Amino acid sequence: MRFGTRLALFVTATLLVVGATTGVGVRFLLRDILIDDGKTQVVAAEARFHKQLTELGRSMAEGVRLLTLDFALRRAIADRDAATVLSALRNHGRRVGASRTILIDTDGTVAGDTSDDAAGAGAAFPFPALLDRAAEEEYAAMVAIVENKPVWLVVVPVLAPDPIAYIAAALPLDSARLLRMQDAIGLPGQLGLAARGPAGWRQVAGSMGDRLPEHLPLEGNEPTVVAFDGDEDIVLTRILAVPENSPAVMTVIGYPLSDALRRYQRILLGLVPALALGGGAALIGLAAIARGVSRPIEVLAGYTERIAAGDYTPPPPLARGDELGQLSVALHAMTRAISDREDRIRHQATHDPITGLTNRDAFLATVQAADPAGAMVVVALTAWRDTVRTVGREIGEGLMHDVGQRIASILPANVPLGAIGENAFAVYLPGADPAAARAIAAHIAELCDLPYRNADPYLEPGLNIDIPVAAGIALRPDHGSDPALLVRRAEVALLAAMQQQTRVASYDPDADPHRPMRLSLMNDLRVGLRRNEFQLLYQPKLDLRTNTITGAEALIRWQHPTQGFLPPDEFISLAEQTGNIQHVTRWVLRNGLLEASAWQAAGLSVRLAINLSVRDLSDEKLPERIAELLQNIGLPPRALVLEVTESAIMGEPERAIAVLRRLEQLGLDIAIDDFGVGQSSLAYLRRLPICEIKLDKSFIMQLRQNSDDRTIVRSVIELAHGLGYRVTAEGVEDAFGLDLLRSFGCDYAQGYYIARPLPAATFRALVASGPDPALGAPA
Domain boundary residue among 270, 296, 320? 270
Dihedral of CA atoms 700, 702, 703, 706 in degrees, nearest 10, equals -140
Is-contact 521 574, C-beta < 8 A?
Answer: yes
Let me know how long the chain is: 779
How many whole angstroms separate alpha carbon 238 and alpha carbon 241?
Answer: 10
User: Confidence class of residue 293 from pLDDT cuts 50, 70 and 90?
Assistant: very low
Q: Do residues 365 and 347 make contact, with C-beta atoms less than 8 angstroms apart?
A: no
- C-beta separation of 659 from 620 below 8 A: yes
Residue whose C-alpha is closest to residue 474's, from 519, 426, 522: 426
Q: Residue 15: inside a domain, yes or no?
A: no
CA pair distance 607, 748, nearest whole angstrom:
13
The answer to whether residue 422 is catalytic is: no
| C-alpha 548, offset from chain centre | 53
In a domain, 300, yes or no: no
pLDDT in tens, 345-375: 777 788 888 888 999 999 999 999 998 999 9
CB atoms inside a 10 Å sphere around CB 29:
11
Based on the fold, state whether residues 459 and 559 are members of the same structural domain.
Answer: no
CATH of the domain at 207: 3.30.450.20
pLDDT digits (tens, 9 = 90+) for 394-404: 888 888 888 99
Q: In which domain, by residue range, is 770 found?
A: 532-775
**652/506 same-domain check:** no
Rounded-to-integer distance, Cα 521 and Cα 622, Å: 25
DSSP of 345-368: HHHHHHB-TTT-SB-HHHHHHHHH
Q: How many CA atoms lie within 13 A of 566 on its CB side?
A: 22
Q: How far is CA 637 from CA 40, 49, 426, 671, in A?
A: 87, 92, 55, 14
The three-point CA angle 756-764-636 to 5° equals: 110
Which residue spans within 405-465 are E strands per DSSP?
417-421, 424-430, 452-453, 464-465
Q: How far apart are CA 99 and CA 120, in angstroms?
A: 16
pLDDT tens column, 311-328: 767 677 766 666 767 777
Identify which of 156, 42, 148, 150 has the alpha carbon closest to the alpha carbon of residue 101: 156
Are 601 and 728 found together in one domain?
A: yes
pLDDT at 692: 94
Last residue of a domain, one of 244, 270, 296: 270
As a whole number of angstroms, the distance between CA 680 and CA 677 comes to 9
Contact between 217 and 253 under an 8 Å Cβ cutoff? The reply is no
Closest CA to 561 of 588, 538, 519, 530: 530
Considering the domain boundaries, does residue 637 fall inside one?
Answer: yes
**Which of the two residues, 7 and 649, has the higher pLDDT score?**
649
Is residue 470 domain-shared with residue 616, that is, in the same domain?
no
Same domain, yes or no, for 204 and 55? yes
Q: Give the model confidence (pLDDT) of 623-670 as tens digits.
A: 999 999 999 999 999 999 999 987 777 667 788 888 999 999 999 999
**Do 543 and 483 reside in the same domain of the chain?**
no
Spell 236-266 as b/e; 16+ CB within 10 A means b. bbbebebbeebbbbbbbbbbbbeebbeeeee
Mean of per-residue pLDDT scores for the chain: 83
Q: What is the pLDDT of residue 601?
A: 92
| pLDDT of 720 higher than 50 | yes
- Order the strands of the 417-421 sheet from edge to edge: 417-421, 424-430, 374-381, 469-476, 504-506
Q: Which residues contact 9 (CB under 8 A, 6 or more apart)?
A: none
8 found inside a domain: no
Residue 283 burial by Cβ neighbours in a 10 Å radius (0-12, 13-18, 19+): middle
In terms of C-beta density within 10 A (0-12 exposed, 13-18 middle, 19 or more buried), how is residue 656 classed?
A: buried
Q: Are residues 498 and 541 in the same domain?
A: no
* 338 in a structural domain: no
Handedness of CA 675, 677, 682, 686 (dihedral sign): negative
Confidence category of residue 454, pLDDT binned at 50, 70, 90 = confident
Question: What does the pLDDT look like over 30-69, one tens digit per residue?
Answer: 778 878 887 888 888 888 888 888 888 888 888 888 888 8
Angle at 309 between CA 303 and CA 311, to 5 degrees: 65
pLDDT of residue 575: 80
| 8 Å CB contact between 158 and 164 | yes
Q: Which helix (H) or strand (E) holds 108?
A: none
Least confident range of 123-137, 360-374, 516-530, 692-706: 516-530
What per-residue confidence (pLDDT) applies to 275? 66
445 and 384 assigned to the same domain: yes
Question: In this predicted model, which residue has the larger pLDDT, 421 or 759?
Answer: 759
User: In this structure, are 508 and 544 located in the same domain?
Assistant: no
Number of domains in the chain: 3
User: Residue 265: what pLDDT?
Assistant: 65
pLDDT, tens only, 730-749: 999 999 999 999 999 999 99
Look up the CATH number of the domain holding residue 707: 3.20.20.450
Tens of pLDDT, residue by residue over 584-601, are 999 999 999 999 999 999
* Chain-centroid distance, C-alpha 709: 42
- CATH code, domain with 444: 3.30.70.270
One domain, residues 470 and 555 = no
Residues 503 and 537 both lie in one domain: no
Range name among 324-328, 334-338, 502-506 with the lowest pLDDT average: 324-328
Is 536 found in the same domain as 508?
A: no
Confidence check: pLDDT of 775 > 80:
no
pLDDT value of residue 718: 94
**End position of a domain, from candidates 512, 544, 563:** 512
* Dihedral pair phi/psi, residue 237, rounded to 5°: -115, 150
> How far is 677 from 709, CA to CA, in rounded Å?
13
Is 255 contained in some domain?
A: yes
pLDDT at residue 513, rounded to an integer: 60
Residue 676 confidence class, pLDDT cut points 50, 70, 90? confident
In a domain, 2, yes or no: no
* Domain assignment present for 494: yes
- Closest by Cα among 411, 391, 389 to 451: 391
| pLDDT band per the 50, 70, 90 thresholds, residue 292 | very low
Q: Are 192 and 208 in contact (CB under 8 A)?
A: yes
Residue among 232, 643, 692, 730 flagged as catalytic: 730
The enclosing H or E element of 235 equals: strand 231-239
Report helix angle 82-96 to 71-79, nearest 10.
140
